[in-house]
Protein backbone atom coordinates (compact mmCIF):
# COMPACT_ATOMS: atom_id res chain seq x y z
CA UNK A 1 0.00 0.00 0.00
CA UNK A 2 1.35 3.41 -0.92
CA UNK A 3 1.68 6.14 1.68
CA UNK A 4 -0.18 9.44 1.30
CA UNK A 5 2.05 12.31 0.20
CA UNK A 6 3.12 15.24 2.37
CA UNK A 7 1.27 18.46 1.52
CA UNK A 8 1.31 22.05 2.78
CA UNK A 9 -0.14 22.81 6.19
CA UNK A 10 -1.92 26.05 5.22
CA UNK A 11 -4.60 24.24 3.15
CA UNK A 12 -6.95 21.35 3.77
CA UNK A 13 -9.31 19.24 1.65
CA UNK A 14 -12.33 21.50 2.19
CA UNK A 15 -10.37 24.62 1.22
CA UNK A 16 -9.15 22.99 -2.00
CA UNK A 17 -12.72 21.94 -2.86
CA UNK A 18 -13.91 25.54 -2.33
CA UNK A 19 -11.13 26.76 -4.62
CA UNK A 20 -12.10 24.15 -7.21
CA UNK A 21 -15.68 25.49 -7.26
CA UNK A 22 -14.46 28.98 -8.17
CA UNK A 23 -11.86 27.86 -10.66
CA UNK A 24 -12.37 28.23 -14.44
CA UNK A 25 -9.53 25.97 -15.63
CA UNK A 26 -10.85 22.37 -15.74
CA UNK A 27 -7.34 20.93 -15.46
CA UNK A 28 -6.67 22.94 -12.32
CA UNK A 29 -10.03 21.81 -10.88
CA UNK A 30 -9.10 18.17 -11.45
CA UNK A 31 -5.73 18.66 -9.78
CA UNK A 32 -7.27 20.51 -6.82
CA UNK A 33 -9.82 17.75 -6.28
CA UNK A 34 -7.13 15.09 -6.48
CA UNK A 35 -5.04 16.88 -3.86
CA UNK A 36 -8.17 17.35 -1.71
CA UNK A 37 -8.60 13.57 -1.77
CA UNK A 38 -4.95 13.23 -0.72
CA UNK A 39 -5.57 15.68 2.16
CA UNK A 40 -8.49 13.50 3.27
CA UNK A 41 -6.08 10.60 3.79
CA UNK A 42 -6.56 8.56 0.63
CA UNK A 43 -3.61 6.55 -0.57
CA UNK A 44 -1.62 7.95 -3.50
CA UNK A 45 -3.09 5.34 -5.84
CA UNK A 46 -6.68 6.06 -4.78
CA UNK A 47 -6.22 9.84 -4.87
CA UNK A 48 -4.58 9.61 -8.29
CA UNK A 49 -7.51 7.54 -9.52
CA UNK A 50 -9.89 10.32 -8.42
CA UNK A 51 -8.10 12.71 -10.78
CA UNK A 52 -7.56 10.19 -13.55
CA UNK A 53 -3.80 10.29 -13.27
CA UNK A 54 -0.88 8.10 -12.30
CA UNK A 55 0.66 8.06 -8.80
CA UNK A 56 3.86 9.64 -10.11
CA UNK A 57 1.90 12.42 -11.79
CA UNK A 58 0.08 13.10 -8.52
CA UNK A 59 3.42 13.27 -6.75
CA UNK A 60 4.73 15.79 -9.30
CA UNK A 61 1.61 17.97 -8.87
CA UNK A 62 1.94 17.73 -5.09
CA UNK A 63 5.50 19.05 -5.28
CA UNK A 64 4.38 21.91 -7.50
CA UNK A 65 1.48 22.65 -5.15
CA UNK A 66 3.83 22.66 -2.15
CA UNK A 67 6.13 25.15 -3.89
CA UNK A 68 3.62 27.45 -5.63
CA UNK A 69 0.25 26.83 -4.00
CA UNK A 70 -3.01 26.51 -5.98
CA UNK A 71 -1.71 28.85 -8.70
CA UNK A 72 0.97 26.28 -9.50
CA UNK A 73 -1.73 23.82 -10.56
CA UNK A 74 -2.85 25.93 -13.52
CA UNK A 75 -2.20 24.65 -17.01
CA UNK A 76 0.95 26.02 -18.60
CA UNK A 77 1.19 25.62 -22.32
CA UNK A 78 4.54 24.48 -23.62
CA UNK A 79 6.80 26.67 -25.67
CA UNK A 80 6.62 24.32 -28.63
CA UNK A 81 9.30 23.69 -31.16
CA UNK A 82 11.73 26.50 -31.93
CA UNK A 83 11.58 28.07 -35.38
CA UNK A 84 14.38 27.27 -37.75
CA UNK A 85 14.59 30.93 -38.80
CA UNK A 86 16.02 33.51 -36.41
CA UNK A 87 14.26 36.79 -35.61
CA UNK A 88 16.49 38.64 -38.08
CA UNK A 89 15.69 36.13 -40.81
CA UNK A 90 11.96 36.40 -40.03
CA UNK A 91 12.24 40.20 -40.36
CA UNK A 92 14.04 39.79 -43.67
CA UNK A 93 11.36 37.35 -44.87
CA UNK A 94 8.71 39.89 -43.92
CA UNK A 95 10.44 42.51 -46.08
CA UNK A 96 10.69 40.02 -48.96
CA UNK A 97 6.98 39.24 -48.82
CA UNK A 98 6.00 42.89 -48.35
CA UNK A 99 7.99 44.16 -51.33
CA UNK A 100 6.83 41.33 -53.58
CA UNK A 101 8.80 39.41 -56.19
CA UNK A 102 10.86 40.90 -58.98
CA UNK A 103 9.69 39.10 -62.14
CA UNK A 104 13.12 39.25 -63.76
CA UNK A 105 15.07 38.01 -60.73
CA UNK A 106 12.55 35.69 -59.07
CA UNK A 107 10.75 34.54 -62.21
CA UNK A 108 7.27 34.99 -60.68
CA UNK A 109 4.79 37.86 -60.56
CA UNK A 110 3.31 37.01 -57.17
CA UNK A 111 4.47 34.97 -54.19
CA UNK A 112 3.12 31.49 -53.75
CA UNK A 113 4.10 29.21 -50.90
CA UNK A 114 6.24 27.05 -53.16
CA UNK A 115 8.08 30.16 -54.39
CA UNK A 116 8.70 31.37 -50.84
CA UNK A 117 9.91 27.89 -49.93
CA UNK A 118 12.51 28.12 -52.69
CA UNK A 119 13.56 31.65 -51.62
CA UNK A 120 13.96 30.57 -47.98
CA UNK A 121 16.08 27.59 -49.03
CA UNK A 122 18.30 29.77 -51.24
CA UNK A 123 18.75 32.72 -48.88
CA UNK A 124 18.72 31.09 -45.46
CA UNK A 125 19.64 27.46 -46.15
CA UNK A 126 16.60 26.20 -44.25
CA UNK A 127 14.10 23.73 -45.69
CA UNK A 128 10.41 24.16 -44.86
CA UNK A 129 7.36 22.38 -46.23
CA UNK A 130 4.72 24.38 -48.08
CA UNK A 131 2.36 23.97 -45.15
CA UNK A 132 4.97 25.34 -42.73
CA UNK A 133 5.37 28.38 -44.98
CA UNK A 134 1.72 29.19 -44.23
CA UNK A 135 2.55 29.12 -40.52
CA UNK A 136 5.50 31.45 -41.03
CA UNK A 137 3.33 33.88 -42.97
CA UNK A 138 0.66 33.77 -40.26
CA UNK A 139 3.32 34.45 -37.61
CA UNK A 140 4.34 37.50 -39.65
CA UNK A 141 0.65 38.61 -39.76
CA UNK A 142 0.23 38.01 -43.47
CA UNK A 143 -3.00 36.51 -44.75
CA UNK A 144 -4.05 35.03 -48.07
CA UNK A 145 -5.58 37.72 -50.25
CA UNK A 146 -6.65 37.03 -53.78
CA UNK A 147 -7.74 39.70 -56.22
CA UNK A 148 -11.02 39.38 -58.01
CA UNK A 149 -10.42 38.21 -61.57
CA UNK A 150 -10.95 40.79 -64.27
CA UNK A 151 -11.21 40.00 -67.94
CA UNK A 152 -8.83 42.13 -70.02
CA UNK A 153 -11.54 42.92 -72.57
CA UNK A 154 -14.21 44.06 -70.16
CA UNK A 155 -15.68 47.52 -70.66
CA UNK A 156 -16.46 49.61 -67.56
CA UNK A 157 -19.23 51.54 -69.38
CA UNK A 158 -21.07 48.33 -70.22
CA UNK A 159 -20.77 47.18 -66.60
CA UNK A 160 -22.13 50.51 -65.30
CA UNK A 161 -25.10 50.31 -67.70
CA UNK A 162 -25.83 46.72 -66.64
CA UNK A 163 -26.02 47.50 -62.91
CA UNK A 164 -29.50 47.64 -61.46
CA UNK A 165 -30.65 51.08 -60.42
CA UNK A 166 -33.76 51.51 -58.34
CA UNK A 167 -35.93 54.61 -58.45
CA UNK A 168 -35.65 56.84 -55.40
CA UNK A 169 -39.07 55.80 -54.13
CA UNK A 170 -38.06 52.11 -53.93
CA UNK A 171 -34.83 52.69 -51.99
CA UNK A 172 -34.99 51.90 -48.29
CA UNK A 173 -34.81 54.93 -46.01
pLDDT digits 0-9 by tens, 5-30: 788 889 999 999 999 999 999 999 99
Structural domain including 38 reads: 13-73
Q: Tell me what pLDDT residue 170 has.
A: 62
Mean pLDDT of 107-112: 91
**28 occurs within a structural domain:** yes
**79 occurs within a structural domain:** no
Q: Are residues 93 and 135 in the same domain?
A: yes
Q: Tell me what pLDDT residue 1 has.
A: 40
Q: Where are the alpha helices (DSSP H) in the chain?
A: 13-22, 26-39, 44-50, 55-68, 87-99, 103-106, 113-124, 130-139, 156-162
Q: How many domains does the chain have?
A: 2
pLDDT band at 52 (very low <50, low <70, confident <90, very high): very high
Q: Is 143 helix (H, G, I), strand (E, B) or coil?
A: coil
* pLDDT of 83 strictly over 80: yes
Q: Are residues 17 and 45 in the same domain?
A: yes
Q: Are residues 53 and 91 in the same domain?
A: no
Q: What is the DSSP letter of 72?
A: G
**Residues 68 and 31 sit within 8 Å (Cβ to Cβ):** no
* pLDDT of 173 strictly over 90: no
**123 occurs within a structural domain:** yes
Amino acid sequence: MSVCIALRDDYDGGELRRLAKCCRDPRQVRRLLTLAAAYDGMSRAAAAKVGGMDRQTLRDWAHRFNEEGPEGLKHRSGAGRRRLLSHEQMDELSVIVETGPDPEVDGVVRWRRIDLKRVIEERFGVTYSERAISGLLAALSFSHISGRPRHPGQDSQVIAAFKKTFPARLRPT
